[in-house]
Amino acid sequence: MATRERRPLVLGIETSCDETAAAVVGADRRVHAEALARQLERHAPYGGVVPEIAARAHAEVLDRLVARVLEEAGLRLSDLDAVAVTAGPGLVGGLLVGVVTAQALAAVAGLPLLPVNHLEAHALTARLTHDLDFPYLLLLVSGGHTQLLVVEGVGRHRRLGATLDDAVGEAFDKVAKMLGLGYPGGPAVEREATRGDPTAFRLPRPLLDRPGCDFSLSGLKTAVRQHILALGPRAADPAVRADLCAAFQEAVADILTDRCRHALARLRAERGRPPGLVVAGGVAANRRLRAALEELAATEGTTLVLPPPGLCGDNAVMVAWCGVERLRAGLPPAPVRVRPRWPLDPEAEPLPGAGVKA
């Protein structure tokens, strides 16, 4: 039985894309247990996530993962205070598996069911790992999302900028595919880049030094493709490939730090001082990006919060913690429905581009 100091105690479930995860987290920031099942081998032959395959894989393992984390935590369902589940945004089939499972568990135990926005779970991770106060600036960078938001409170987010075309993780994946590096592309490009010269190729930095906080990655991706076509067979040379990856990664780091600089300046003008800068999402694990943002934070006189790499990608710890935050904030229960699109800032203008996920 959980003590009063650890309450609320929440089971989190995550199935929005290609990772199945469950975790139990308490209000004392203790992760009592967590489990995660990856699907990389199933999707690798297709060069990306196949929604139908992902949904079936979630259904095969989710109940076992929930049973495992409860056993490892030494808890029964009745010991919990709520079940939190990612209800969007994400792939509909996977989201349905998680939501239906969470509904069944909550009904059996008579627990509140908390639908969680996957993006808010990323946004609040810094409060789990660093006990950070509101407000702070969030750079959210993943396979489907590239946004700058002010996190003003639980359920309160203001979008300053977003990608106008490709998400940064998507750009990494596409470059990896063009170079024959396989899936997932982000880690593959980063590995190659460690052996390369970032100055070997001249690549564009779309929107660099332009006003505002929006991003654009499509032109950079196209420039990489043009270099590959111009190189012909030489593009397969390991040294050339490493140089191209290093140049691409450096361009991405320059773009992201430039947009963060603009956002920090805007918030300094609004508030008189820059807020803390938090980076979340799968691409936040990239070491070159982390180093570039550390330099930016030092220059701008602000604090940089980087969650541990294991909490940058999709996971259930952040979902459970988001549930804890929502319970402690006393927010009213939200309707439980799957939302493939679920913007954090519903007041912001819709984003252009078919490849952008809200």
Listed by start position, the domains of the chain span 4-125+313-328, 133-310
Find the radius of gyration of the CA atoms of the chain: 20
> What whole-number distance in Å separates Cα of residue 288 and Cα of residue 266?
25
Same CATH topology for 4-125+313-328 and 133-310? yes
pLDDT of residue 7: 82
Q: Could you tell me if 31 and 65 are in contact, meaning their C-beta atoms sit under 8 angstroms apart?
A: no
Are 163 and 214 in contact by the 8 Å Cβ rule? The answer is yes
- Residue 355 confidence (pLDDT) above 70: no
CATH 3.40.640.10 fits 4-125+313-328, yes or no: no
User: Residue 90 pLDDT > 50, yes or no?
Assistant: yes
The predicted pLDDT at position 200 comes to 97
pLDDT tens per residue across span 124-157 = 999 999 989 999 999 999 888 999 999 999 999 9
- The pLDDT tens digits for 92-123 are 999 999 999 999 999 999 999 999 999 999 99
Predicted confidence band of residue 351 (pLDDT cuts 50, 70, 90): low
- 255-300 tens-digit pLDDT: 999 999 999 999 999 988 888 999 999 999 999 999 999 999 999 9
234 phi-psi bin (left φ>0, alpha ψ -120 to 50, beta other): alpha
Q: If you search the block for the tokens 């140089």, which residue do you land on? A: 243
Tens of pLDDT along 162-213?
999 999 999 999 999 999 998 889 999 999 999 999 999 999 999 999 999 9
d(CA 273, CA 348): 24
Model pLDDT, residue 143: 84
For helices 238-271 and 287-300, angle between their N-to-C axes, nearest 10 degrees: 30
CATH number of 133-310: 3.30.420.40
Judged against a pLDDT cut of 50, whether residue 358 lies above it is answered with no
Q: Residue 176 has what pLDDT?
A: 96
Query: Residue 349 has what pLDDT?
Result: 74
pLDDT at 357: 42
DSSP string, 286-353: -HHHHHHHHHHHHHHT--EE---GGGTSS-HHHHHHHHHHHHHTTPPPPP----S---S-TTSPPPPS
CA distance 301 to 137: 14
Residue 269 three-state SS: helix
Name the pLDDT band for 335 (thresholds 50, 70, 90).
confident
Model confidence at 1: pLDDT above 70? no
What angle do the packed helices 316-328 and 118-130 form, to 10 degrees? 80
pLDDT per position as a tens digit, 29-81: 999 999 999 998 898 888 888 999 999 999 999 999 999 999 999 999 999 99
DSSP 115-155: EEEHHHHHHHHHHHHH-PPSPEEEEEESSS-EEEEEEEETT
Q: What is the mean pLDDT of residues 303-321?
A: 94
In three-state secondary structure terms, 159 is strand
Q: Residue 352 — very low, low, confident or very high, per pLDDT cuts 50/70/90?
A: low
The predicted structure's pLDDT at residue 41:
85
